[in-house]
Amino acid sequence: MAGNSFGTLFRCTSWGESHGPAIGVVVDGVPPRLPLSEADIQPWLDRRRPGQSRFTTQRREADLVRILSGTFEGRTTGTPIQLLIENTDQREKDYRNIADRFRPGHADYTYWRKYGIRDYRGGGRASARETAARVAAGAIARKILGPDIVIRGALVAVGPHAIDRAAWDWRQVEDNPFWCPDAAAAKLWAAYLDEVRKAGSSTGAVVEIIASGVPPGLGEPVYDKLDGDLARALMTINAVKGVEIGAGFAAARLCGEENADEMRIRDGQVRFLSNNAGGILGGISTGQDIVVRFAVKPTSSIPTPLRTVDALGNEVEISTHGRHDPCVGIRAVPVGEAMIACVLADHLLRHRALGG
Amino acid sequence: MAGNSFGTLFRCTSWGESHGPAIGVVVDGVPPRLPLSEADIQPWLDRRRPGQSRFTTQRREADLVRILSGTFEGRTTGTPIQLLIENTDQREKDYRNIADRFRPGHADYTYWRKYGIRDYRGGGRASARETAARVAAGAIARKILGPDIVIRGALVAVGPHAIDRAAWDWRQVEDNPFWCPDAAAAKLWAAYLDEVRKAGSSTGAVVEIIASGVPPGLGEPVYDKLDGDLARALMTINAVKGVEIGAGFAAARLCGEENADEMRIRDGQVRFLSNNAGGILGGISTGQDIVVRFAVKPTSSIPTPLRTVDALGNEVEISTHGRHDPCVGIRAVPVGEAMIACVLADHLLRHRALGG
Amino acid sequence: MAGNSFGTLFRCTSWGESHGPAIGVVVDGVPPRLPLSEADIQPWLDRRRPGQSRFTTQRREADLVRILSGTFEGRTTGTPIQLLIENTDQREKDYRNIADRFRPGHADYTYWRKYGIRDYRGGGRASARETAARVAAGAIARKILGPDIVIRGALVAVGPHAIDRAAWDWRQVEDNPFWCPDAAAAKLWAAYLDEVRKAGSSTGAVVEIIASGVPPGLGEPVYDKLDGDLARALMTINAVKGVEIGAGFAAARLCGEENADEMRIRDGQVRFLSNNAGGILGGISTGQDIVVRFAVKPTSSIPTPLRTVDALGNEVEISTHGRHDPCVGIRAVPVGEAMIACVLADHLLRHRALGG
Amino acid sequence: MAGNSFGTLFRCTSWGESHGPAIGVVVDGVPPRLPLSEADIQPWLDRRRPGQSRFTTQRREADLVRILSGTFEGRTTGTPIQLLIENTDQREKDYRNIADRFRPGHADYTYWRKYGIRDYRGGGRASARETAARVAAGAIARKILGPDIVIRGALVAVGPHAIDRAAWDWRQVEDNPFWCPDAAAAKLWAAYLDEVRKAGSSTGAVVEIIASGVPPGLGEPVYDKLDGDLARALMTINAVKGVEIGAGFAAARLCGEENADEMRIRDGQVRFLSNNAGGILGGISTGQDIVVRFAVKPTSSIPTPLRTVDALGNEVEISTHGRHDPCVGIRAVPVGEAMIACVLADHLLRHRALGG
């Protein structure tokens, strides 16, 4: 119970269901005197907003954020900041048919088993709509981190099609509907996703987030290690099934001398010669880029009929038509960035308490 | 700061350095009247204990656990349980040479950057020795979970050599020094690891843990999801670089109808036809087996010389001789099991608070 | 930082300033399937609402509560409940004169020292308006506690005038504007408060809360003792300067045999012959009535001029005219009740996790 | 459950029973590089140690503390510090007679109701012996606070006999067995306590703690207010029944202009003309002395026979002979100081995280 908060000093508490009147998040622990208005938050929400291309859900939400507390004359005051986003495009009747049926791959069955009641409209609390709250909180986290810490995400694989890492170009990321850093891959994905959609199916994806400019020293061993907190933060995003840091699972196939990031002195500074660690050693940031990847499963709501059961114990079939992302991994990119920002902001404050 | 505890209701606080007088853990929140003595904990520690084969470190520690509080006449009382394990085989002088040098892949550099001081002896707090505390706590967690919840781990890959999953046999796991469920793979690994060791190197590995008998309903959306807490728990284990649930990263390559675990009624019960979800949907257990895997990087301490720097800013080389695991992934198996047990015990108690 | 939440399993996170657009509270950890609508909460807010007699502030707030999340078809779902109350009677210009001046007895000076910025309008976050959030949360807590646990408060002293405890009559409490259980005292207080107000002054008060029907066993030694959590909860209410349990400070003047609550068997049940303990022993509820009292200081905003300083370091005088309670202790009664309800609900859930 | 920790960044987790092998505390979140050895902690334990005068229990405990972790070469490392104190003077057989009987005023009955099992020897976990862990932790807290923050306690009333505050002399406090700042009162108390003891009784007391040099700005509104955390910390000490800040309960009898602490500028600094607030406004320290008082009930273990019941439902009598404090309030002085130190250290670190 009481599982809707995360962070220790920078602490977010979110609330709201997909088809209730609104969703939102209380962001507590924000240092005072930071300039903050809706204009600082809205652009990040706009990046996540659905309906921006044919590859994401056609639900139309303006996702306009309002600050209800915690600022005064355009600056934070140190008191909790309530961010509220109204739900405007609810189509309750779309969901009558799933009131008693458990969609495979969704949380329908488990919410019903856990709570004995569930708001079935659009997935209720389990809807990816909740991630708007994360993105809004992430915008505040970025204000705490300041301009020197840059957090950027990209989609690095869609279904079986991975990018060519040699072709990585950050400028591409904003130029295609996939946050794809490889122009050739983006073209391939467009064709692939059209095909997937026509087939009444969906596909998974892999997201990579890189945080640059993070100072060494963030992370609190041994259970609040930075990588532990990042893994949790990302794994709680809807549809995420795996998280890795640096070389990640590939590290398991390496030998010791390949994996070790050797160090030299360059211009009087310690420099690592590689970054298999993904910027974290012993749960503490090294000062290198923090590199994390996470796997997003294919959208569970698909037109293809699936076998399932209902709450009365009947065997039924279900197929989902209407507004759904063929690849939820796409919109997971800004969400992942936001979660990284929140975790880093929390650890920055925690580290500051050390006087360091 | 204050990062040495985990869990909400079942809460573990560990302490101790590799070469201090002792290590231990306070386990708080244990329900009363459970039978508990050292004999319930010691066998689990013995499984993790170093020096049991030529494939693990030759450090000799009896790892005898003492219960200093929280039990009375052989039963828990509901008060905190202090478990203490003395360090007996400390060889402080082995570490003089690393007092000022940062071993690549270790936490030496980051502890120094974070704290400005570090206990360099055997890695201090960052030593894998700390995992003995986790295993001890896990033994108590198992008592809470009861005999119907069975948590078993296995090594499923060593370096480039994965098991044949078709050959999986749990009985094999206790019969070879690798917790390997595939007899043929175990033989191959023995040869491979001998070769690795002779080469002055080390190798990574992948561990898989399966928890059976977990009731549906465990997990607290949306930030204390069961998979989120599992990911964090595993990612905080030394050398772990990736965690995945169920199909994990492979799910990113699947299409929707492949990934969805369809449901039917069998003998009046809901049955899933597959388990790509790894027993968790929407952050809540489904009642299926919970399946998690984690990647362990190769041991960073190797005889092969590596380039590094020292605290004075000099470029130096370092090579580690002596007592080290060529594949730390092996001993991570019981540690991973213990962490899963702790997370499940915590969520079992949290769920019970719902009256469910 | 991040100090705007309380409770472990039943967890409240409040937000909002006196003169912002709204205030509210996220109540997380509420068990599912409890009937809940605005009609369950509004009556408790109405009891606290200002402007109901000439003895409280004349600020006019409807204090209408809206549930924005966490319920479905009139029942709780186990997800976080956002309660929102709009601020409607803001008079910003009333506060221009205190923008730079520190009202003695208020949080003006300390917020300025802590945060370097403050929302001076009506005290901002430090306003007693925040207690509406507590009362709203308390209404939900009462639903968890159920009808057998009854929490009632009364004013037992106003300035130097205490009630005659022999005259205690709960029916009186709802019949006078002071929540006074002693009809004679209520008359005296009315006259006294008229006098105080005419004198441009204010007065303190003592509130007593009694919780009946609390089962034995609630409270988590040794740092989350029930009395410890109650003391904290009450001490965080605006203007509270002291908290006591049972005999409280009077216990310090007793000898051992007077203070000890002896026990006998009555009708096969354990019965205590007195209740100096106030229903709590060793931090755990005994099953007797839980009795707590707290002292509320006189309202700091008074017409009588007081010496103070401003943010520029000038010595100035300040006097407060307008809408203020001559005795804030009166409206503290429903607030105190609500805080007790919240603490008990949290401990009820925590105890339930024990399987007890 | 899991109620044996307190603090957010400076976090203490205590464990141990009165008659187990040892008691102790893990102190987590201590900043690195502070000089710390047993010699910094032992003097504070010696002040609390029993058996130092005829007015405290004659149990003989050396209370020697050992640091088992968290320091290296005489300095803290930022890792958790385990402090262990062995129990040496256990007399288990003294307690056989209370194995099934509930001593009035003790936690015997409530532990039995809550847990269904209890370690009856010397009160088990509910013993005042647990306060040694608090005092040990407090010694580390003082190192964090540094020499400019001075925390001193005194006994200000024993039974009906209060000190003459005009006669307050801190030098007296170390010169009598009562921590009494008024030499005349100390003499009176000695005679009174001899009388109480001869009568087979015990008496309550009031303790006052003053923290000087605390900077303005500590405390996290609105639920982690400094006074709220202080109240909780003190209320969790054994036998405490009331806590007040500054004028405390007396504030309820004051009028507004008496209670308000007016401000002037003196030597360019803000100066308060009184301190009814006890150094805290709006839950944040003002920079004035922090003044708290707490009431300690009379020792419940007395030779005079008391009526009670046993676990089988029989009515019995109980009288306690042997080693008990006639006035536990005396030894509560160093305990109260320690708890204040711990709360202030935690809030100092929390405030530092703000960058303030």
DSSP letters, C320-335, are --SS--S-TTTTHHHH
* Nearest-by-Cβ selection for D297 from C224, C259, C298: C259
| Residue ranges for chain D with pLDDT beneath 50 | none
Lowest mean pLDDT among A181-190, A204-213, A331-340, C43-52: C43-52
Q: A153 pLDDT exceeds 90?
A: yes
- The answer to whether D16 contacts B117, with C-beta atoms less than 8 Å apart, is no
| pLDDT recorded at residue A197 | 92
Task: Determine which helix (DSSP H) or strand (DSSP E) holds D205, and give its type and residue range.
Answer: strand D205-212
- The answer to whether B82 contacts D28, with C-beta atoms less than 8 Å apart, is no
Per DSSP, the residues of C167-210 read G--HHHHTTSTT--S-HHHHHHHHHHHHHHHHTT--B-EEEEEE
C-alpha of C310 from chain center: 31
Structure tokens given for C193: 């408060």
Residues of chain A neighbouring C10 (CB-CB closer than 8 A): 1-2
CA nearest D355 in A: which residue? Answer: A352
Chain B: give the shortest CA distance to residue D36, in Å.
14
Mean pLDDT of all residues in A17-46: 97
C-alpha of C15 from chain center: 16
Q: Cβ neighbours of residue B236 under 8 Å, at least 6 residues apart?
A: A222, A223, A225, A227, A228, A283, B6, B339
- The answer to whether C253 contacts D204, with C-beta atoms less than 8 Å apart, is yes
Residues of chain C neighbouring A136 (CB-CB closer than 8 A): none
pLDDT digits (tens, 9 = 90+) for C1-22: 689 999 999 999 999 999 999 9
Residue whose C-alpha is closest to residue A126's, from A304, A300, A250, A247: A300
Neighbours of chain B (3+ CB pairs under 8 A): A, C, D
Chain B: give the shortest CA distance to residue C126, in Å.
29
| Residue ranges for chain B with pLDDT beneath 70 | 1, 50-51, 58-59, 90-94, 322-323, 356
User: Which residues in B have their CB inside 8 Å of a CB on C?
Assistant: 8-9, 31-32, 78-79, 221, 349-350, 352-355
| pLDDT recorded at residue A92 | 65
Residues of chain C neighbouring A90 (CB-CB closer than 8 A): none
Chain A: give the shortest CA distance to residue D217, in Å.
12
pLDDT digits (tens, 9 = 90+) for D265-316: 999 999 999 999 999 999 999 999 999 999 999 999 899 999 999 999 999 9
* Nearest-by-Cβ selection for B352 from C8, C79, C355: C355
- The answer to whether B2 contacts D7, with C-beta atoms less than 8 Å apart, is yes
User: Which residues in D have their CB inside 8 Å of a CB on A?
Assistant: 8-9, 31-32, 78-79, 221, 349-350, 352-355
- The answer to whether B353 contacts C32, with C-beta atoms less than 8 Å apart, is no
CA nearest B352 in C: which residue? Answer: C353
| pLDDT recorded at residue D324 | 74
* Nearest-by-Cβ selection for B281 from A109, A160, A315: A109
- The answer to whether C260 contacts D229, with C-beta atoms less than 8 Å apart, is no
pLDDT digits (tens, 9 = 90+) for C236-271: 999 999 999 999 999 999 999 999 999 999 999 999
Q: Cβ neighbours of residue D194 under 8 Å, at least 6 residues apart?
A: none
| pLDDT recorded at residue C26 | 98
| pLDDT recorded at residue B58 | 65
Three-state SS letters, chain B: CCCCEECCCCEEEEEECCCCCEEEEEEECCCCCCECCHHHHHHHHHHHCCCCCCCCCCCCCCCCEEECCCEECCEECCCCEEEEEECCCCCHHHHHHHCCECCCCCCHHHHHHHHCCCCCHHHHHHCHHHHHHHHHHHHHHHHHHCCCCEEEEEEEEECCEECCHHHCCHHHHCCCCCCCCCHHHHHHHHHHHHHHHHCCCCECEEEEEEEECCCCCCCECCCECHHHHHHHHHHCCCCEEEEEECCHHHHHHCEHHHHCCCEEEECCEEEECCCCCCCEECCEECCCCEEEEEEECCCCCCCCCEEEEECCCCEEEECCCCCCCCCCHHHHHHHHHHHHHHHHHHHHHHHHHCCC
* Nearest-by-Cβ selection for C31 from B9, B221, B354: B354
- The answer to whether B281 contacts A107, with C-beta atoms less than 8 Å apart, is yes
- The answer to whether B117 contacts D31, with C-beta atoms less than 8 Å apart, is no
* Nearest-by-Cβ selection for A20 from C5, C10, C69: C69
Q: C355 pLDDT exceeds 70?
A: yes
- Spatial strand order of the sheet with A81-86 comes to A5-6, A11-16, A22-28, A81-86, A65-67
* Nearest-by-Cβ selection for B33 from D72, D77, D117: D117
Residue from C263, C272, C315, C316 to probe the interface with D (highest D Cβ count within 10 Å): C263
Residues of chain B neighbouring A231 (CB-CB closer than 8 A): 231-232, 234-235, 243
Local confidence band at A51 (pLDDT 50, 70, 90 cut-offs):
low
Residues of chain D neighbouring C314 (CB-CB closer than 8 A): 265
| pLDDT recorded at residue B351 | 96
Q: What is the pTM of this model?
A: 0.97
Is residue B256 within 8 A of residue A299, CB to CB? The reply is yes
- CA B98 vs CA B57, B124, C98, D31, D213: distances in Å: 18, 12, 61, 24, 42
Chain C: give the shortest CA distance to residue B220, in Å.
9
- CA A315 vs CA A96, B260, B268, B274: distances in Å: 18, 16, 11, 16
